Amino acid sequence: MPGPESLASPRFADLVPMLRAAGCVFAEDEAQLLLSEASSPAELFEWVERRVAGAPLECIVGWAEFCGLRIAVDPGVFVPRRRTELLVSEAAALMLEHIAPASSSAAVVDLCCGSGAVGVALASRVSLRELHSADIDSIAVECARRNVATVGGHVHRSDLYSALPARLKQRVQLIVVNAPYVPTRVLPTMPPEARIHEPPLSLDGGADGLNLHRRIIREAPEWLDPNGYLVIETSERQAAGTASLVAAAGLAPRIVHSEELDGTIVVGGPRGQ
Ligand code: GLN
Q: Check: pTM over 0.95? Answer yes or no.
A: no
Say yes or no: 257 and 143 in one domain. Answer: yes
Say yes or no: 86 and 34 in one domain. Answer: no
Report CA torsion sign: 82, 195, 212, 252.
positive
Point out the ligand 1 atom lying closest to the alpha carbon of residue 83. 10
Say yes or no: 176 and 218 in one domain. Answer: yes
Count of domains observed in the chain: 2
Strand-pair category, 69-72 with 107-111: unpaired
**From the DSSP assignment, how many helices (H) and strands (E) are in the chain?**
11, 9
Determine the distance separating the centroid of ligand 1 and the alpha carbon of 7, expressed in angstroms: 37
Q: Which residues pair with 110 in a beta bridge?
A: 133, 176
- The per-residue pLDDT for 9 is 73
In a domain, 77, yes or no: no
Determine the distance separating the centroid of ligand 1 and the alpha carbon of 9, expressed in angstroms: 36
Candidate from 86, 195, 212, 233 with most ligand 1 atoms within 8 A of CB, to mutate? 233
Say yes or no: 31 and 143 in one domain. Answer: no
In a domain, 246, yes or no: yes
Say yes or no: 132 and 258 in one domain. Answer: yes
* pLDDT tens per residue, range 183-210: 999 999 998 889 999 999 999 999 999 9
In a domain, 160, yes or no: yes
Point out the ligand 1 atom lying closest to the alpha carbon of residue 179. 9
CATH number of the domain residue 105 falls in:
3.40.50.150
Using DSSP, state whether 187 is helix, strand or coil.
helix
Say yes or no: 156 and 214 in one domain. Answer: yes
CA-based nearest residue to 174, from 92, 256, 240: 92
**Residue whose CA is closest, atom 8 of ligand 1?**
180
- The per-residue pLDDT for 36 is 94
* pLDDT tens per residue, range 225-267: 999 999 999 999 999 999 999 999 999 999 999 999 999 999 9
Say yes or no: 87 and 37 in one domain. Answer: no
Say yes or no: 46 and 86 in one domain. Answer: no
Per the structure, the complete domain to which residue 35 belongs is given by 4-53
In a domain, 49, yes or no: yes
**Residue whose CA is closest, atom 10 of ligand 1?**
81
Say yes or no: 45 and 136 in one domain. Answer: no
Does residue 81 line the site of ligand 1, with CB under 6 A? Answer: yes
Does residue 194 line the site of ligand 1, with CB under 6 A? Answer: yes
Does residue 118 line the site of ligand 1, with CB under 6 A? Answer: no
Say yes or no: 49 and 86 in one domain. Answer: no
In a domain, 63, yes or no: no
Say yes or no: 180 and 256 in one domain. Answer: yes
101: confidence class by pLDDT, cuts 50, 70, 90: confident
Say yes or no: 203 and 241 in one domain. Answer: yes
Q: What 8-state DSSP symbol labels residue 98?
A: I
